[in-house]
Amino acid sequence: MPKITLGRSEGDKKKFGPRKGTGFIGKHLVGEKGEAHVANPIYMDMARPHVIGVFGKRGTGKSYSMGTMAEEIITAPEDVSNNLSAIIIDPMGIYWSMKFPNENDAILLDKWDLKPEAMDIKLYIPEGQEENFIKEDIPYDKTFTLRPGELETSDWAMSFDILLNEPRGILLEKVLRDLKNDKGEDFGLDDMIKYAETHGDFKEETRKALINRFMAAKEWGIFSKEGSNLDEFTRRGELTILDLSQFGAIRGSWSVRSLVVGLLANKILRERMSSKRLEEMREMEGMQTSESPIVWMFIDEAHQFIPNDHKTPASDPLLSWVKIGREPGVSLVLCTQQPYKLNADALSQCDIVLSHKLTAKSDIDALKNIMQNYMRYDLSTYIDNLPDAKGAAICLDDNSERVYSLRMRPRMSWHAGGTPTALKNK
């Protein structure tokens, strides 16, 4: 039976074989619409860095598929998983359930030669949201905070929705510059408030307006002077989930989430770039060692973090992953139901595109703009020929220059992102 491995070059197939360092994500769909049936298994390369787009309208299984990919990383053989680390950015609060086995689909899993399995994930939540998680009885492992001193002036300005050339923006820049000159990065929001109060050369209304922004930031519950050790999020062989779902009631909640993602993406990329230099030096000396794991970051609702029509605090850090991530060794999986809203540069750099059903013309047109010359038919033809089955998708693989129809495999862990219904099972 032919082996299909998405994202693996011919050179790596010869070097590592078709299976080592890959994950089983689904089966090839042969035929069209109601006549389609599953055939040989499809694997995805996990050993090399990739930029992957996972798309589909609501209810077609895009978040489910992203979870399937993450399962393959955490359940890989130890000699592979020990060189990998995965982190899921969860703005909707649906991935905590990976802690539990998917007993509901035990029969279906058996047909795929799989079994229900709870994932050994580490679930982190913002420190200020702890009470909400306890009240809703949602399990978590640890809280985290960020250091205000690690953020740039532009990050704060975007989060506060103020311009740097207006009085509040000028005061903001002066406060941060003075604090960093005096304290480096070792300061908190109370220090920022104090410095804003002491700048008498600004009007009182300007100082009060900025201080109100700082007071609101304290209520976000993500800042502390010490901050958390973000290296904990990228430990070898671990899947970390950052649950950012409880910011929904906060004004500018997506900016708050983007602050977290932007800072984390920057730190991971810097760490991998430093590690890459050490790894190359050791390789020249004949030693094959990994200084730090290759990091896979999965982002749900990705168009909110790296949109096409404006910048967020996460935009530049994530674009750095897209443009230079292959060299240091970071992979990015961008999941959205609205690919036309995703940054065009990020969309064009996806070397693997997994698309479930799309019906909006704007979304289909966005994908048509990145269509490759190896596609025999129009994108709409491929999508229209998919069967009405959950998990059905088309996949564009730039590495093999092929287009495949596939059905994603069922999840081994529980998926909390299903659509609710007012009807009960009989």
Q: State both tokens at 153.
A: 């002036």
Helix (H) or strand (E) holding 181: helix 167-183
Q: How confident is the model at residue 369 (pLDDT cuts 50, 70, 90)?
A: confident
Taking only the tens place, the pLDDT of each residue in 383-409 is 888 988 888 999 999 888 888 999 999
The secondary structure of 218-229 as a DSSP string is: HHTS-B-SS---
Given this model, what pLDDT does residue 252 score?
76
- Give the Cα separation of 56 and 354 in Å (integer): 9
Q: State both tokens at 419.
A: 């659509």
Q: What percentage of the chain exceeds 70 in pLDDT?
A: 92
Mean pLDDT value across residues 103-130: 94
Given this model, what pLDDT does residue 10 score?
85
Taking only the tens place, the pLDDT of each residue in 151-182 is 999 999 998 989 999 999 999 999 999 999 99
C-alpha distance from residue 51 to each of 177, 256, 357, 372 (Å): 36, 24, 20, 16
Q: How confident is the model at residue 424 (pLDDT cuts 50, 70, 90)?
A: low
Taking only the tens place, the pLDDT of each residue in 288-342 is 555 678 999 999 999 999 999 999 999 999 999 999 988 888 999 999 999 999 9
Taking only the tens place, the pLDDT of each residue in 328-341 is 889 999 999 999 99
List 320's β-bridge partners, or say none: none
Mean pLDDT value across residues 282-289: 54
In three state form, how does the secondary structure of 33-51 look?
HHHCEEEEEEEEECCCCCE
**Where are the CATH 3.40.50.300 domain residues in the chain?**
4-29+36-94+108-143+233-295+304-363+370-381+389-408
Using the predicted structure, report yes or no on whether residue 362 has a pLDDT greater than 50.
yes
Architecture of domain 4-29+36-94+108-143+233-295+304-363+370-381+389-408: 3-Layer(aba) Sandwich (3.40)
Given this model, what pLDDT does residue 421 score?
47
